[in-house]
Structure 1
Amino acid sequence: MARTKEFDPEVALQAALELFWERGYEATSMSDLVGHLGIGRASLYATFGGKHDLYLKALRRYVENRDPSPVEMLSQPGPALPAVRALIEFYAEDAIRDRRRRGCMIVNAAAELLPGDERVAGIVDANWTGLETALTSALIRGRAQGELPGDRDPVALARFLLVFLQGLRLVSKGQPDPARLRDAAAQALAILN
């Protein structure tokens, strides 16, 4: 007779996500995971695979459960530029409020594991491509609605904003000077005028 699981895999996955987000992949050992999740090593392997498999699942969960979802923020009907501006302001203020200085788990994964980890690279690239596509779509819509001057290149502008937003997240992991982050966000907002 098969044993039933004595833990909730969804709760354990969320706990693993929090630990990886706090410490990073390399600094989180299997012993750390076993202790933090409160489950046996054999159960962890049987449910999630090895440490790397668990990390990939946690990284995917992080992407899927972003609240608010940047793509959803940019995809709302109506004027497009207010949504782009709101996203920039959200990233800046969220970085300022991040007292634990965890940053963005996607940015952390890129900084720690790329270019050497192809599976992490796939998740990071899909996330950044999705955000760039959503920004491009919003900016194209904004240009079509007369919110953005017709001579602006929505693709190039979206790429700039993607790089800016990810850089903002990385800078916030250091000493997140609110004035520095707000001034940078103001400059990014200014290019939308």
Structure 2
Amino acid sequence: MGRKKSFDEQAVINAAIAVFSEHGYTGTDVGLVCERADIGRSSFYNTFESLDALFLRALREYTASGIPLREELRTGAAPAPALIMHRLGGELAKQCEDDQRIGCLSANTAAELGREIDAVCTILDPDRQAWLETYRIVLERGQIEGHIRSELDAGVHAELIHSVLAGLRVAARVMPAENVQAQATAFIAGLCTPAGLTALHDHTAASTGIDSPGLPVSTESSPQ
């Protein structure tokens, strides 16, 4: 009869997510994971078989953590520009609060590996498509409500939101937090109608108790 594991398997996966995010796929070895998770190599191999197996499991769990976030965006009652700001600005603020500013495992992995490993693509591709569909839904709802410019192609701009967030995650590793947030704000403002800018400003002020710095506010009534 095998000995009962004396460690929390989920804690090891969480440690692996942190290590892979920090060092990348090629920069991580079993020793780094074992040191971060405080387990021995024999325990590691008895549970996870290989570093590659752990990496794929960590990546699956990391991407799965986005499911409730997407549901919040799809069902959120806030104006579409505010939902997009919450997604971009919130994620970037969280990253900038981290001293190491490691960022997103999915984005880091895509930047490092591209389409080199099929097993990684089978995890990242569906995750990306799910985010694009969520952004498209939010944008189209915003267009119906008159907050997102009607001439924008929602599908194309859903991809643009995804790309802008990925790019700003990279920039956030070295750029002052206020500069990162200013770029996110400027991008989102470019999606908005005058009514959308007002709705975003009002929602931000109501949520935080303060006006949003750098956010233009239009007094025009046209939804275009």
| Alignment TM class, shorter chain as reference | 0.7 to 0.9
* 2-structure distance, mates of 1:20, 1:136: 30
Say whether 1:184 aligns with 2:183. yes
Say whether 1:127 aligns with 2:127. yes
Please tell me whether the aligned partners of residues 139 and 154 of structure 1 are also in contact (alpha carbons under 8 angstroms).
yes
Any unmatched runs of 5+ in structure 1?
A: none
* 1-structure distance, mates of 2:85, 2:39: 44
Q: Higher Cα Rg: structure 1 or 2?
A: 2
Per-residue deviation, 1:21: 1.9
Per-residue deviation, 1:144: 2.0
Match of 2:94 in 1: 94
Sequence identity (%): 28
* 1-structure distance, mates of 2:176, 2:35: 35
Match of 1:171 in 2: 171
Letter in 1 for 2:105: M
Match of 1:116 in 2: 116
Equivalences for 1:24-173 in 2 at 5 Å?
24-66=24-66, 69-78=68-77, 79-173=79-173
Normalised to the residue count of structure 2, the TM-score between the two structures is: 0.76
Normalised to the residue count of structure 1, the TM-score between the two structures is: 0.87
Q: Moved runs in structure 1, 4+ residues, more than 3 A?
A: none
Distance 1:35 1:88, change over 3 A: closer
Per-residue deviation, 1:69: 4.9
Aligned-residue CA RMSD (Å)? 2.1
Please tell me whether the aligned partners of residues 131 and 162 of structure 1 are also in contact (alpha carbons under 8 angstroms).
yes
Per-residue deviation, 1:77: 4.0
Per-residue deviation, 1:117: 1.3
Any unmatched runs of 5+ in structure 2?
A: 193-224
Mean Cα deviation higher: 151-160 or 90-99: 90-99
Per-residue deviation, 1:139: 0.9
Per-residue deviation, 1:65: 3.0
* 1-structure distance, mates of 2:91, 2:119: 26
Distance 1:186 1:34, change over 3 A: closer
Q: How many residues align?
A: 191
Structure 2 residue matching 1:26: 3-state secondary structure:
coil
